[in-house]
Amino acid sequence: MTTLTKKVLNLSRLLKNVDNHTKRLSSHFNYYPDIEKSIEGETSKMNMMQAINNAMDITLKNDPSAMLFGEDVGFGGVFRCSLGLQEKYGKDRVFNTPLCEQGIAGFGIGLATAGATAIAEIQFADYIFPAFDQLVNEAAKYRYRSGGQFDCGGLTVRAPCGAVGHGGLYHSQSPEAYFAHAAGLKVVVPRGPNAAKGLLLACLQERDPCIFLEPKILYRSAAEDVPVDSFTLPIGKAQVLKEGDAATLIGWGTQVHVLLEVAQMAQEQLGANCEVIDLMSILPWDQDTVFNSVKKTGRCLIAHEAPLTCGFGAELAASIQEECFLQLEAPVRRAAGWDAPFPHVFEPLYLPSRARCLDDLTQLLRY
C-alpha cells in the first residue's frame, strides 16, 4: 500500500467520524450532549450546523423582511450553515456579498434601521475587526444617539469563532471580550445544537443588535435531539449544567465541555463535587446565577480560549470578588489562552485543556 493511499484512507476515516457525529479525532475535548428537552414536542437529530440552518430557515419562512447575506452564503457558506436556503427563498433574500466585512456590517445596519431582519455572516470571527467600527460605533449606539427615535435592533451578526485544530492565528480567535465593552450590543456563545437554535432565534427576535459567536469546532462535533418547532432561550441567562458544592466552574462555548470533563475527573480523582455553569451570554451576563453559585461553593475557576489579559474572565473574576468576597475560600482562578498570537502546531499547548484546568482546580481546592 502506497503512502498516498494510506493518507487517503486515514482522511476518509476521519471524515466518517465527523459525518457520524462522533468525537473529532483532532478535538481537545469530549462532547457532552444536552439531555433535557428545551421544549416539549417533536424533535429531530441535528448537529450545530443543522440547528443554525434550521433557525434561519424558520426565520426566513415566518418573517418576509428577513435577509441572509455574507461571503459565500449563497452556496451554503464555508461551514454549510446556509445550505439550501438560497434555493428555498431566492437570491433576493439569501445572497453573497463582496469580501468586505465593514460593508457587510454597514449594509446590515441599514437594513435593520429600515425595519428588516438582517442576518449578517462574517466568514470567520477573526475577520470581524474591519467591521468593528460599524458594530461598536454605529450599531451599538444607534438608539442612544437618536434619542430612541431609531434603532437597528433587527441586526444579528453571526461569526464562526474559536479553535478548530488547524486554524492558526487567522482562523482560531475568540473576540467576545472586545464586544463586551460596547454598551448596546448583546453577545452570545452557544455550546451545542439545542443552545444554538434557541439562542439564535432569540437573537433574531431581539430588539438590540446581537453578535452571535459560533464555536466552529462544534458544528459537526455531535448531534442532539433538537425541537423541530421554533423556540427561544433567554439572552442573559446562564445554565447550571451540573450542581455541586466544592467549586464553581464557569465557561462558554467549547470550554463548557472541557469543564464538564474536568468536573468528572475532579469527582473521580479528588472526591470533589463541582458545579458547572454555561454562561451562554457574555453581554449581558447572568450575575445572579454566578454569584449564588460562588457564594455556595466558595471557590471559582473561569476558563476561556481567549487570551488571559482582559479576557472576559477578568470581568467575571473582578465582579465575583466584589460581590462574594466574604464567602470566598480562595482567590478566583482563570485558565485561558496565553497572551500571544494563536499558534498552529502548538495549539494544544495554547488552549486551556482539561489537564491545565484540572491542575488549576486542584490548586484552588488545596488553597
Question: Could you list the active site residues?
Answer: 101, 171
Spatial distance between the Cα atoms of 82 and 84, rounded to a whole number of angstroms? 6
The C-alpha cell that represents 188 in the structure block: 452570545
What's the CA gap between 200 and 59, in Å, rounded?
10
| Contact status, residue 169 vs residue 342, Cβ threshold 8 Å | yes
DSSP string, 279-300: --EEES--HHHHHHHHHHHS-E
| 242 grid coordinates | 451540573
Rounded-to-integer distance, Cα 153 and Cα 156, Å: 8
- Beta bridge partners of residue 281, listed in sequence order: 188
Amino acid code (one letter) for 94: V
DSSP annotation of 139:
I
Residue 209, preceding bond cis, omega within 30 degrees? Answer: no
Place of cell 498552529: 344
Whole-angstrom distance, CA of residue 162 vs CA of residue 153: 26
Strands 186-188 and 281-283, by their bridges, are antiparallel
CB 298 within 8 A of CB 333: no
Whether 336 contacts 352, CB under 8 Å: yes
